[in-house]
C-alpha cells in the first residue's frame, strides 16, 4: 500500500478510518469518520425510551391494582386521573388555574434566583461580611415557609404577589447558599494570576469568579425548581380561590382523589419544563468552562 493511501478497512466501534503514513514512529494515523444521526443520539434515545417504559410499567401496575387491591376512592386510578384532566380541559378549568400557577412559579423562580445569585456574588467574596451574615441566612433558611405564609397574607393579601414572593423566598436561599459555596471555592491562584497580569477587580469577577462558580449556581437553580412550585402551591393551599393548589383543595374537599392526582400530574409537567429550561441555560453556560475541565 503506497504512501498517503487510505485503508478501506474501518473499525465500526471506533468510527475511524486509517491513514497508512502517519508521523514517523507513531504508526498509522486515525481519522474520525462522521457519525450518523443514530450514532450521535443513540444513548439519549435509549434513556428517553427507558424512562417512558418505566412510566408505562408504573401506570400499568397502578391500573391493574386499582379496584382489586387499591380502593379508587382512596388511591384514585389512571382512568379517573385521565377523566379529570379531560373534563377540566374541556371546561377551561385546567388552563385557567394552570396559567395562574405558572405565573407564580416562573415569576417567583426568576425573582428568587436572580436576587439569590446577585447577593451571593456580592457577599461571598467579602469574607468578613460573609462571616457576619451567614448565621442569619442559615436561621432564615431553616424557618418553614408554610410558617411565614400567614404573615405574607397580612402584608400582601391573597393575590398573585403573595404567592410569587412565597415562591421567591423558597428559591432565594437555595440559590444563594449554592452560589456562595461556588464563589468561595474559586482557586485563589487564578485570581492572583489575573491580578499579576494587570487585571482589575472587574476582570477577576467576570473572567475568573463568575465562570468558576457557575457550577454552584446551576446546582442551586436545579435544586430550587421544586421549591418554587412548593412555595406557590403552599400559598394557594393556605388562601386562594384559583390555581392548581386551589384545585387540589377543591378536589380533596369533594374526596376526589383522582382529581388531586390530576393536579399533581400538571405540577410535575411544569417542573419538567422548568428543568428543561435550566438544562438549556446549562449548555449555554458550559461555554464559560475552562478548556480541559471535563464534560
pLDDT, mean of residues 168-176: 91
Q: What is the DSSP letter of 287?
A: G
pLDDT, one tens digit per residue, over 71-120 is 777 888 888 888 889 988 888 888 988 899 899 998 999 999 999 988 98
List pLDDT tens digits, range 45-60. 888 788 888 988 998 8
Residue 126 or residue 105, greater confidence: 105
Residue of 102, 129, 111 whose CA lies nearest to 183: 129
* Count of CB atoms situated within 10 Å of the CB of 6: 14
Domain annotation for the chain: domains and CATH numbers = 6-34 (no CATH), 79-288 (1.10.3720.10)
Ranges 27-31, 197-201, 260-264: which has the least confidence: 27-31
User: Tens digits of per-residue pLDDT, 186-217?
Assistant: 766 666 676 777 666 666 666 667 777 777 88
Note the pLDDT of residue 170.
87
pTM over 0.85: no
Average pLDDT over residues 54-70: 86
Residues 6+ apart with CB under 8 A from 195: 204
Nearest alpha carbon to residue 134 among 182, 178, 185, 177: 177
Q: Which residue has the cell 435509549?
A: 46
Confidence of residue 27 (pLDDT cuts 50, 70, 90): low
Average pLDDT value for the chain: 78
Judge whether residue 172 has pLDDT over 90.
yes
pLDDT (0 to 100) of residue 19: 47
Average pLDDT over residues 127-137: 86
Region class of 94: left (phi > 0), else alpha (psi between -120 and 50), else beta: alpha
- The whole-number pLDDT of residue 115 equals 93
Render pLDDT for 219-260 as a digit per residue (tens, 0 to 9). Answer: 888 888 888 888 888 888 887 788 888 888 888 888 888 889
Amino acid at each position: 500500500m503506497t504512501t498517503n493511501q487510505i485503508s478501506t478497512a474501518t473499525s465500526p466501534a471506533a468510527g475511524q478510518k486509517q491513514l497508512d503514513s502517519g508521523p514517523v514512529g507513531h504508526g498509522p494515523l486515525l481519522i474520525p469518520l462522521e457519525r450518523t444521526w443514530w450514532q450521535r443520539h443513540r444513548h439519549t434515545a435509549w434513556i428517553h425510551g427507558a424512562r417512558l417504559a418505566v412510566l408505562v410499567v408504573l401506570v400499568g401496575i397502578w391500573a391493574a391494582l386499582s379496584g382489586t387491591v387499591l380502593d379508587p376512592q382512596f388511591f384514585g386510578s389512571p382512568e379517573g386521573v385521565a377523566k379529570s384532566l379531560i373534563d377540566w380541559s374541556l371546561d377551561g378549568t385546567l388552563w385557567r388555574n394552570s396559567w395562574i400557577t405558572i405565573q407564580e412559579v416562573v415569576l417567583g423562580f426568576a425573582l428568587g434566583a436572580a436576587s439569590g445569585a446577585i447577593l451571593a456574588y456580592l457577599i461571598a467574596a467579602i469574607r468578613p461580611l460573609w462571616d457576619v451574615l451567614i448565621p442569619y441566612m442559615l436561621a432564615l433558611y431553616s424557618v418553614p415557609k408554610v410558617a411565614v405564609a400567614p404573615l405574607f397574607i397580612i402584608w400582601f393579601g391573597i393575590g398573585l404577589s403573595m404567592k410569587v414572593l412565597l415562591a421567591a423566598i423558597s428559591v432565594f436561599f437555595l440559590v444563594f447558599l449554592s452560589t456562595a459555596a461556588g464563589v468561595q471555592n474559586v482557586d485563589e491562584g487564578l485570581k492572583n494570576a489575573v491580578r499579576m497580569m494587570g487585571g482589575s477587580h472587574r476582570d477577576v469577577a467576570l473572567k475568573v469568579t463568575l465562570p468558576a462558580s457557575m457550577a454552584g449556581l446551576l446546582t442551586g437553580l436545579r435544586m430550587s425548581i421544586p421549591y418554587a412550585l412548593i412555595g406557590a402551591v403552599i400559598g394557594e393551599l393556605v388562601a386562594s380561590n384559583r390555581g392548581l393548589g386551589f384545585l387540589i383543595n377543591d378536589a380533596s374537599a369533594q374526596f376526589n382523589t383522582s382529581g388531586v392526582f390530576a393536579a399533581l400530574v400538571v405540577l410535575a409537567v411544569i417542573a419538567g419544563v422548568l428543568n428543561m429550561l435550566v438544562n438549556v441555560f446549562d449548555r449555554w453556560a458550559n461555554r464559560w468552562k475552562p478548556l480541559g475541565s471535563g464534560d
